[in-house]
Amino acid sequence: MIYTKTFSLIVPVFGKNFILWVIVLLLFGILIPDGLDQLRGGEHIIFGRWGYSCLFIFLIGLTKVLSASGLLVPRFRQIAVFLIIGVALFGSYIHFTHQEVVGLLINIMNIGLAAMVYWCSSKRFHIPQ
């Protein structure tokens, strides 16, 4: 009950768009450096050890950069969210099969943040008064 009252007091002051943009910028700040590192080939040794080619690393990095940039444009936001969730699900599978807990947790966090962006940007998002 206290959480609902606190949330109801905070959200009208800042607004739904403020919360949405904080989450979008947080997700943007997570995905852009990681995607750019993959575009430069920074993780080619790790991907090679897992049996993936350098072209695959480039495609994953390009998808991360494009989807993170798509979050900033409201028209492309839902497509970007689904791309982020898809890449994060694949990354979760890879990290799970190779027993890398930190990578798995980061991908689960990305899925959660992307789902929050989708929920906040949907028309059905309503804040109780």
pTM of the predicted model as reported, rounded to 2 decimal places? 0.80
Residue 38 lies in a domain: yes
pLDDT of residue 126: 56
106-123 core/surface letters (b: 16 or more CB in 10 A; e: else): bbbebbebbebbbebbee
Residue 82 lies in a domain: yes
Helix axes 2-14, 16-39, angle to 10 degrees: 80
Residue pair 84/31 in contact (Cβ under 8 Å)? The answer is: yes
91/95 Cα distance (integer angstroms): 6
Nearest to 42 by CA among 63, 66, 60: 60
Residue 45 lies in a domain: yes
Residue pair 113/85 in contact (Cβ under 8 Å)? The answer is: no
pLDDT tens-digit map of 5-21: 444 545 554 667 888 89
Boundaries of domain holding 95 = 15-121
103/88 Cα distance (integer angstroms): 10
Residue 3 lies in a domain: no
Residue pair 117/24 in contact (Cβ under 8 Å)? The answer is: yes
Residue 10 lies in a domain: no
Residue 73 lies in a domain: yes
What Cα–Cα distance (Å) separates residue 63 from each residue in 5, 43, 58?
A: 39, 15, 9
Query: Chunked in runs of 10, what are the mean pLDDT values of the chain (129 residues)?
Result: 48 69 93 90 76 84 94 92 95 90 93 91 62
Residue 32 lies in a domain: yes
Residue pair 110/30 in contact (Cβ under 8 Å)? The answer is: yes
Residue 5 lies in a domain: no
Structural domains in the chain (count): 1
82-97 core/surface letters (b: 16 or more CB in 10 A; e: else): ebbbebbeebbebbee
